[in-house]
Structure 1
Amino acid sequence: MTIEAKAGDRVNATDEPPLASRMLARYLHTQRETIMDGQIAVHDDPDAVGDMVIAARRARCALSAYRPAVRHEPEVRRLIEELRWFGINVSAAHELRAQAARLHEAVDLLRPRYVRGPVRARMTNYFHTRTRPAWRAARDMFGSPRFPALIEDLMCEERLLNAGLVPGIDDSDNAVVLAALLERVRRRMRAVESARDEDGTDASMHDLRKALRRTRYYLESVHEMNPARSAQAADGLAAVQDLLGQNQDAAVAKQHLIQLTREAENAGESTFTYGLLLQREIDRTTICAAGLPAVYWRSLRAVRAMADVHADAPLD
Structure 2
Amino acid sequence: MADTKREIERKYEATTDTTVPDLARVPGVARVLDAGTADLDAVYYDTPGLRLAAHSVTLRRRTGGADAGWHLKLPVSPGVRDEIAAPLGDDVPDDLAALVRARTRGDTLAPVVRLRSSRDVRHLVDDDGTLLAELSTDTVHAQRLTDGGATATWTEIEVELADGGDPALLDAVDKRLRKAGIRPAASPSKLARALAETGTPPPAPRPAEPDGTAGDHVLAYLRAQTDKLLAHDAGLRRGEPDALHDLRVTARRLRSALRGQRKVLDRAATDRVTRELRWLGRELGADRDREVLDARLRAALDTVPRTLQLGPVRGRLKRWSTAHSAGARGHLLEVLDSDRYLALLDRLDALLTDPPLRPAAAKSPKKVLAKAVRKDHARVAARIERALSLDPGPDRDAALHEARKAAKRARYGAELAAPALGRPARRLAGEMKALQRLLGDHQDSVVARRALRELAVQANGAGESSFTWGLLYAREEAEAAARERELPDVWARARGRGLPG
TM-score if structure 1 supplies the norm length? 0.85
Which residue of 226, 233, 244 corresponds with 1:39?
Answer: 233
Which residue of 275, 278, 284 corresponds with 2:479?
Answer: 284
Note if 1:149 corresponds to 2:340.
no
Instruction: Tell whether the 8 Å contact from 1:181 to 1:211 is kept in structure 2 after alignment.
Output: yes
Report deviation, 1:212: 1.0
Q: Which runs of 5+ in 2 are unaligned?
A: 1-210
* 1:83-142 deviation per Cα after TM superposition (whole angstroms, max 9, x unaligned): 111111112112212211111121111110110111111111112111123433222101
Trace 1:2-41 onto structure 2 (pairs within 5 A): 19-41=213-235
Instruction: State the match for 2:112 in structure 1.
Output: none
Instruction: State the match for 2:352 in structure 1.
Output: 158
Alpha carbons of structure 1 residues 202 and 168: separation in structure 2 relative to 1, 3 Å: farther
CA–CA separation in structure 1 for the residues paired with 2:408 and 2:273: 18
CA–CA separation in structure 1 for the residues paired with 2:359 and 2:304: 55
Structure with the largest fraction of strand: 2
Which residue of 282, 290, 299 corresponds with 1:105?
Answer: 299
SS of residue paired to 1:222 = helix
Trace 1:242-257 onto structure 2 (pairs within 5 A): 242-257=437-452
Structure with the largest fraction of helix: 1
RMSD over equivalenced CA pairs, Å: 2.0
Highest CA radius of gyration, 1 or 2? 2
CA–CA separation in structure 2 for the residues paired with 1:94 and 1:179: 31
Instruction: State the match for 1:74 in structure 2.
Output: 268
Instruction: Tell whether the 8 Å contact from 1:46 to 1:94 is kept in structure 2 after alignment.
Output: no
Which residue of 383, 388, 391 corresponds with 1:196?
Answer: 391
Instruction: State the match for 1:123 in structure 2.
Output: 317
> When the two structures are aligned, how many residues end up with a matched partner?
286
Alpha carbons of structure 1 residues 168 and 84: separation in structure 2 relative to 1, 3 Å: farther
Note if 1:84 corresponds to 2:275.
no
Instruction: Tell whether the 8 Å contact from 1:66 to 1:169 is kept in structure 2 after alignment.
Output: no
CA–CA separation in structure 2 for the residues paired with 1:185 and 1:168: 27
Which residue of 156, 164, 167 corresponds with 2:358?
Answer: 167
Instruction: Tell whether the 8 Å contact from 1:243 to 1:288 is kept in structure 2 after alignment.
Output: yes
Instruction: Tell whether the 8 Å contact from 1:49 to 1:94 is kept in structure 2 after alignment.
Output: yes
Report deviation, 1:177: 2.2
Instruction: Tell whether the 8 Å contact from 2:214 to 2:368 is kept in structure 1 after alignment.
Output: no
Amino acid in the other structure paired with 1:181: D
* 1:161-206 deviation per Cα after TM superposition (whole angstroms, max 9, x unaligned): 4xxx322752783343233222211210121112223212221111
Report deviation, 1:79: 0.6
Instruction: State the match for 2:496 in structure 1.
Output: 301
Instruction: Tell whether the 8 Å contact from 1:240 to 1:296 is kept in structure 2 after alignment.
Output: yes
Instruction: Tell whether the 8 Å contact from 2:418 to 2:425 is kept in structure 1 after alignment.
Output: yes
Question: Which stretch of the first structure deviates more once superposed, 192-201 or 256-265?
Answer: 192-201
Trace 1:193-232 onto structure 2 (pairs within 5 A): 193-232=388-427
Instruction: Tell whether the 8 Å contact from 1:20 to 1:222 is kept in structure 2 after alignment.
Output: no
Instruction: Tell whether the 8 Å contact from 2:370 to 2:421 is kept in structure 1 after alignment.
Output: no
Instruction: Tell whether the 8 Å contact from 2:390 to 2:396 is kept in structure 1 after alignment.
Output: yes
Report deviation, 1:221: 1.3
Instruction: Tell whether the 8 Å contact from 1:60 to 1:83 is kept in structure 2 after alignment.
Output: yes
Instruction: Tell whether the 8 Å contact from 1:93 to 1:132 is kept in structure 2 after alignment.
Output: no
Q: Which runs of 5+ in 1 are unaligned?
A: 1-16, 312-316
* 1:238-291 deviation per Cα after TM superposition (whole angstroms, max 9, x unaligned): 111111111111111111111111111211211000000011111111000110
Instruction: Tell whether the 8 Å contact from 1:25 to 1:159 is kept in structure 2 after alignment.
Output: no
Alpha carbons of structure 1 residues 18 and 169: separation in structure 2 relative to 1, 3 Å: farther
CA–CA separation in structure 2 for the residues paired with 1:39 and 1:105: 29
Instruction: State the match for 2:333 in structure 1.
Output: 139
Amino acid in the other structure paired with 1:232: R
CA–CA separation in structure 2 for the residues paired with 1:30 and 1:252: 33
Which residue of 443, 459, 469 corresponds with 1:264?
Answer: 459
Amino acid in the other structure paired with 1:239: A
CA–CA separation in structure 1 for the residues paired with 2:440 and 2:333: 26
Identity of aligned residues (%): 28
* 1:198-220 deviation per Cα after TM superposition (whole angstroms, max 9, x unaligned): 21222111111111111111111
Instruction: Tell whether the 8 Å contact from 2:215 to 2:264 is kept in structure 1 after alignment.
Output: no
